[in-house]
Structures are given as structure tokens and as C-alpha cells.
């Protein structure tokens, strides 16, 4: 009973696009108000940005953040969030049934993202808006000056264009819950026409078309095929969304869900390539997995929320140790497909199904899932290497052939470091691992970080923010170019080598 892995610097899946470690902030619950923005908080700066939250985000090195939604965006008028704050309207927000006060909008988000050290992925409204607003918002954000919308931005105090490069053409337009839900053909047309004018305003931008909201949608994968038939030559990315839960308290299956994420990626890739062939196109479509996470803990509580409040607690999942393992497996799944998945967004970032939690007026802390996300983002830069893995496997009622070892290595040529990310899915036994690093020669173990806890349901809270935290007492050791380690049961491991 043992797992083996071969890591070779010449077996490259792909250089990893750093945007694989993106995240997402929606005007939903306390993500913005009480999360990243809370004027009057002791940690707030002069713009109302919470510095305690900013520093937790900076440590994650988040390269890009999708904003302002989500379902929210399909009813959002971006113009409500610009100009003097005392003149901005409060609106009924129909996606989440709240009041949106519009005290934080496009310009504030650009300022905030600069402070957080991240780029903006702006989603446009293709639910209630269309081609006209699509061009206007690009003109406002990205055109230098000398036109109505760009001069308006300048008059709002932003002389330089925001240079937002990445834009999503709507959100989950296949979902009947979406404001302005569309058929694939309707969406394909409006996305194409919006894409054209947006790129006429700013030819440097990149666009993401909406794929299916999840692979259980009845219209999947016909949706992808039809949408790409319309949009193929106008966009660079197709989106995927997927959330995972453990409603049945079946942890063995829950830990295997990343295999389904991989299947989803493979079939969307195949659909993209089918349209490429059909169109005799030379262009390869890339994937933006721009919503992924564990989401289920808050489902029941959310049914009881009174409508029309400002920033009530919504989707506040409190994550367990086992959720962190699932997030670790999902990160490895994304890395395994980094040749096609160039962007991905952990949904979301603060308070709403998020690695970071805050109290209004109080402290901010890291949830369990913060740690695998941080490790992947900080150490997972460079080339993703083909994981040649032999591992014992297990079956559950829903999924078969789940390897106990989920693993991948990343080689950073610049720093000369190799990092092995590994989850031991075995809930009762440690897993001996042997890694053959043949092409690297003798390697030294810099650090073996482990996230584990005797209680798989352990969580971090305001009163106990450090219950689940990584330690560096992992036992990886090197013998020339062979690394051996005993991976604790149910653990997330980061073995750093040079
Ligand atoms: O991230 C929460 C919600 O999940 C988003 O608003 C929506 O796009 C998805 O259904």
C-alpha cells in the first residue's frame, strides 16, 4: 500500500497562467458592504476599504477578481455606481432580493483592486442590458478621453483609463433563475453583437462567453455548442461554473468530486474543439472556470432571509477541514488542465462562500479553504508537470476509481523550485508516497507543509480563528532524486523542493 509519482521537468502540461488563481466578488450578502468596504470600521482607510481584509487578500496573491456578479450583474446598471455617492440610487436587487445602495461601484472597485494588487475581470449585464450599454461601459472604463463616456470618467476624478483587459459577457445566461435568462441562440447573438462593439471601442480586451451554469443543466453541452457557433471568432474564453457539497455527509464521495470537475473540463474542451473543427478555425478556445468552490452549508439558512435588507448575511458557508481537502483536490484538477483552463475564480473571496470572513465592525480571519488556495497561488507558479501517478484507489456508490493520492508538481524555472501538491483522500490511514524526480537530480526538501485535523468537521470562527491552520512538520525527506513522505490521513500537503 503505497503511492508513487514520477516528476520530470520535460513532461510539461503547460506554463500556468497566473489567472488560474483568480477569485470573485459579487454585490451579494456582505461581500462588499461589511466585507471589503466598511467606512467607519477601525481598519478602514480613507476610502472605506478594510485594511485587515486587504492584507489577508494580499497574502493570497490573487491575480484577478471577477466583479460585480454573478446573478447580481444581470439586473445591474453600472451607471448607478459612478459619480457622487450622495446622488447614487438605492435599488431593489432582484437576484438576491436585497436593497443595493450603490455606495461602491466601478471606480471604487478599480481603486480597491489596485490596493489588493489584483486585476479586474468586469462582467457586463446581458440580462436586462444589451449592445448599447456594453459599448458604453468599455468606453467609460477604457477610452482615454474626448468622448462622452470617457470624459465622464475623467470628470469623476479618473484621468487615466482603467485599462480593464478581461470582460465577461454576462453571467449564467442558461439559468432560468437568471434575470433576463436566454436561450443559447438568443444569448449567442447578443454576446456576439456586444463583443463586436466592445472590441471596436477597445481592441485590446479579452472576452469570456457564458458556458453552462453547471454540468447538470439540461441544456448542457448543447448550450456550449450553440453559443460557440455564434461567438467563436469573437471571444477568447468560454466559462464553466461548478459548486460541490456534502449534503449526504458522505466524505469519501465528496473528496472524489474533483474527478467530476475534470470530466466537465474535458467535455467542454471537446465541445470547443468540435466547433473549432466545424468552423475550420485556427483559433483555440480557452476556458475560464470563473466560479468554483464548495457551497452547501448555508443553503438552509438562506431560505429564511427577510427580503429587501442592505447587505444581510447570505451564502455564509463556514468551511470545515474536509472542505479544505476538497478545495485542494479542485485546485489540483485545475492545474492538471492548465493547458486549456487559463483563468479560474474561486467563488467567492470575502464572506460569501469565501476563504475570508469578517464581522461587521470586528475582526477578519481565514477560513480552512484559505490555506490550500494560498499555497497553490503562492507556490503554484511556473510549469505544471504531467502527474504520472500510481495510487491505490477506492469506489463509492457515486464515483469509482478514486485515487487515494491526488497530486501534481509545479516547476518554477526562475526560482529553481519544484512544488508537489498532494491530497491523501484516505480518511483512516496515512499514505506512503515515493516521488522519483529523475530529471532534477538530487533535491533538497525546503519545507513540507501539512493541513490536517483530527476532526474533519473542525472550522475556524471569530472566537477560534486558528483551529485549522497548516504546520510545517511534514516528514518528507530526500534521498538523492527520490523523495519519500508519509502523508497523514485526510491531509493537504505542499512539499517544496529545490
Ligand atoms: O457565487 C454565487 C452565485 O452562484 C453567483 O451569483 C451565480 O453566478 C452562481 O449561480
- Compute the distance between CA of residue 419 and CA of residue 440 in angstroms, rounded to an integer: 12
pLDDT at 317: 98
- Compute the distance between CA of residue 333 and CA of residue 327 in angstroms, rounded to an integer: 10
**DSSP-derived secondary structure letter, 285:** P
Give the cell for residue 43: 481598519
CA-nearest residue, atom 3 of ligand 1: 70
| Mean pLDDT in residue range 130-144 | 98
Cα 71 to averaged position of ligand 1 atoms, centre (Å): 6
pLDDT at 399: 97
Residues belonging to the active site: 172, 291
Best CA proximity match to 56, nearest among 382, 369, 289, 496: 369
Cα 451 to averaged position of ligand 1 atoms, centre (Å): 28
Q: Which atom of ligand 1 is found nearest the CA of 347?
A: 1
**pLDDT exceeds cutoff 90 at 118:** yes
Best CA proximity match to 202, nearest among 163, 253, 243, 153: 163
Cα 291 to averaged position of ligand 1 atoms, centre (Å): 7
345-404 confidence digits (pLDDT tens): 999 999 999 999 999 999 999 999 999 999 999 999 999 999 999 999 999 999 999 999
CA-nearest residue, atom 7 of ligand 1: 70
Q: Which atom of ligand 1 is found nearest the CA of 171?
A: 8
**pLDDT exceeds cutoff 90 at 123:** yes
pLDDT at 346: 98
Which of 29, 70, 126, 317 to probe ligand 1 with, by most ligand atoms within 8 A of CB? 70
Q: Which atom of ligand 1 is found nearest the CA of 293?
A: 1
Cα 240 to averaged position of ligand 1 atoms, centre (Å): 12
**pLDDT exceeds cutoff 90 at 482:** yes
Give the cell for residue 350: 470575502
Q: Which atom of ligand 1 is found nearest the CA of 28?
A: 6
pLDDT at 465: 97
CA-nearest residue, atom 2 of ligand 1: 70
Best CA proximity match to 357, nearest among 370, 373, 345, 344: 370
Q: What spatial distance separates the first Cα and last Cα of the chain, rounded to whole Å?
A: 28
- Compute the distance between CA of residue 149 and CA of residue 202 in angstroms, rounded to an integer: 13
pLDDT at 312: 98
**DSSP-derived secondary structure letter, 396:** -
- Compute the distance between CA of residue 140 and CA of residue 157 in angstroms, rounded to an integer: 12
Q: What is the percentage of the chain residues whose pLDDT exceeds 90?
A: 100
**pLDDT exceeds cutoff 90 at 1:** no
Which pTM does this prediction carry?
A: 0.98
Which of 24, 241, 245, 344 to probe ligand 1 with, by most ligand atoms within 8 A of CB? 241
Cα 242 to averaged position of ligand 1 atoms, centre (Å): 9
Give the cell for residue 214: 453547471
Helix (H) and strand (E) counts in the chain: 10, 25
pLDDT at 480: 92
The answer to whether residues 108 and 32 touch, using CB atoms and an 8 Å cutoff, is no
The answer to whether residues 26 and 354 touch, using CB atoms and an 8 Å cutoff, is no
Cα 243 to averaged position of ligand 1 atoms, centre (Å): 9
17-39 confidence digits (pLDDT tens): 999 999 999 999 999 999 999 99
In sequence order, what are the beta bridge partners of 325?
none
In sequence order, what are the beta bridge partners of 50?
44
Which of 28, 68, 71 to probe ligand 1 with, by most ligand atoms within 8 A of CB? 71
- Compute the distance between CA of residue 288 and CA of residue 123 in angstroms, rounded to an integer: 13
Cell match 499514505: residue? 431
Mean confidence (pLDDT) of the chain = 98
Q: Which atom of ligand 1 is found nearest the CA of 315?
A: 2
CA-nearest residue, atom 9 of ligand 1: 70
**How would you classify the pairing of strands 393-394 and 388-390?**
unpaired
Q: Which atom of ligand 1 is found nearest the CA of 291?
A: 1
CA-nearest residue, atom 1 of ligand 1: 347
pLDDT at 107: 98
**pLDDT exceeds cutoff 90 at 337:** yes
- Whether this model's ipTM surpasses 0.90 comes out as yes
Cα 463 to averaged position of ligand 1 atoms, centre (Å): 29
CA-nearest residue, atom 4 of ligand 1: 70
Query: Which DSSP string do the residues of 375-405 spell out, in sequence order?
Result: HHHHH--SEEEP-EEE--EE--SS---EESE
Q: What is the percentage of the chain residues whose pLDDT exceeds 70?
A: 100
The answer to whether residues 238 and 224 touch, using CB atoms and an 8 Å cutoff, is yes
268-313 confidence digits (pLDDT tens): 999 999 999 999 999 999 999 999 999 999 999 999 999 999 999 9
Cα 5 to averaged position of ligand 1 atoms, centre (Å): 36
- Residues within 6 Å of ligand 1 by CB: 26, 69-71, 171-172, 213, 291, 347-348
- Compute the distance between CA of residue 93 and CA of residue 97 in angstroms, rounded to an integer: 5
Amino acid at each position: 500500500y503505497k503511492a508513487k509519482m514520477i516528476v520530470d521537468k520535460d513532461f510539461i502540461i503547460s506554463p500556468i497562467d497566473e489567472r488560474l488563481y483568480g477569485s470573485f466578488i459579487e454585490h451579494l450578502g456582505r461581500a462588499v458592504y461589511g466585507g471589503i468596504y466598511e467606512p467607519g470600521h477601525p481598519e478602514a482607510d480613507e476610502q472605506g476599504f478594510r485594511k485587515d481584509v486587504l492584507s489577508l487578500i494580499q497574502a493570497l496573491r490573487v491575480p484577478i477578481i471577477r466583479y460585480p456578479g454573478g446573478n447580481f450583474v444581470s439586473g445591474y446598471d453600472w451607471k448607478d455606481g459612478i459619480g457622487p455617492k450622495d446622488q447614487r440610487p438605492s435599488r431593489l436587487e432582484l437576484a438576491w432580493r436585497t436593497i443595493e445602495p450603490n455606495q461602491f461601484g466601478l471606480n471604487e472597485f478599480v481603486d480597491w483592486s489596485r490596493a489588493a494588487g489584483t486585476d479586474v475581470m468586469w462582467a457586463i449585464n446581458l440580462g436586462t442590458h444589451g449592445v448599447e450599454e456594453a459599448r458604453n461601459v468599455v468606453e467609460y472604463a477604457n477610452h482615454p478621453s474626448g468622448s462622452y463616456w470617457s470624459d465622464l470618467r475623467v470628470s469623476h476624478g479618473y484621468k487615466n483609463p482603467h485599462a480593464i483587459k478581461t470582460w465577461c459577457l454576462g453571467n449564467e445566461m442558461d439559468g432560468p433563475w437568471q434575470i433576463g435568462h436566454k436561450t443559447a441562440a438568443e444569448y449567442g447573438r447578443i454576446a456576439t453583437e456586444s463583443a463586436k462593439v466592445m472590441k471596436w471601442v477597445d481592441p485590446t480586451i479579452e472576452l469570456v462567453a457564458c458556458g453552462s451554469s453547471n454540468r447538470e443543466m439540461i441544456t448542457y453541452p448543447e448550450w456550449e455548442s450553440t453559443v460557440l457557433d455564434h461567438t467563436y471568432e469573437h471571444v477568447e474564453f468560454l466559462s464553466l461554473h461548478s459548486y460541490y457539497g456534502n449534503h449526504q455527509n458522505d466524505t469519501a464521495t465528496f473528496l472524489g468530486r474533483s474527478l467530476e470537475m475534470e470530466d466537465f473540463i474535458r467535455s467542454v474542451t471537446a465541445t470547443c474543439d468540435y466547433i473549432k473543427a466545424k468552423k475550420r478555425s485556427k483559433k483555440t478556445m480557452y476556458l475560464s472556470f470563473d466560479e468554483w468552490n464548495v457551497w452547501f452549508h448555508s443553503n438552509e439558512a438562506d431560505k429564511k432571509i427577510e427580503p429587501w435588507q442592505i447587505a444581510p448575511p447570505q451564502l455564509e458557508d463556514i468551511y470545515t477541514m474536509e472542505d479544505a481537502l476538497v478545495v485542494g483536490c479542485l485546485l489540483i484538477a485545475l492545474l492538471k488542465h492548465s493547458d486549456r483552463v487559463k483563468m479560474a475564480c474561486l467563488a467567492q473571496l470575502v464572506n460569501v462562500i469565501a476563504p475570508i470572513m469578517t464581522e461587521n465592525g470586528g475582526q477578519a480571519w481565514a477560513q480552512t479553504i484559505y490555506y490550500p488556495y494560498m499555497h497553490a497561488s503562492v507556490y503554484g507558479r511556473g510549469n505544471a508537470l504531467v502527474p504520472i501517478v500510481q495510487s491505490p484507489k477506492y469506489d463509492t456508490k457515486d464515483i469509482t476509481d478514486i485515487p487515494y493520492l491526488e497530486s501534481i508538481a509545479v516547476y518554477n524555472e526562475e526560482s529553481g523550485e519544484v512544488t508537489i501538491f498532494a491530497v491523501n483522500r484516505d480518511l483512516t490511514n496515512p499514505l506512503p508516497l515515493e516521488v522519483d524526480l529523475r530529471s532534477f537530480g538530487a533535491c533538497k526538501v525546503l519545507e513540507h507543509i501539512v493541513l490536517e485535523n483530527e476532526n474533519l468537521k473542525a472550522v475556524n470562527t471569530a472566537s477560534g480563528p486558528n483551529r485549522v491552520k497548516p504546520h510545517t512538520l511534514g516528514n518528507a525527506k530526500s534521498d538523492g532524486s527520490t523523495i519519500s513522505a508519509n502523508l497523514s490521513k485526510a491531509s493537504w500537503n505542499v512539499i517544496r523542493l529545490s
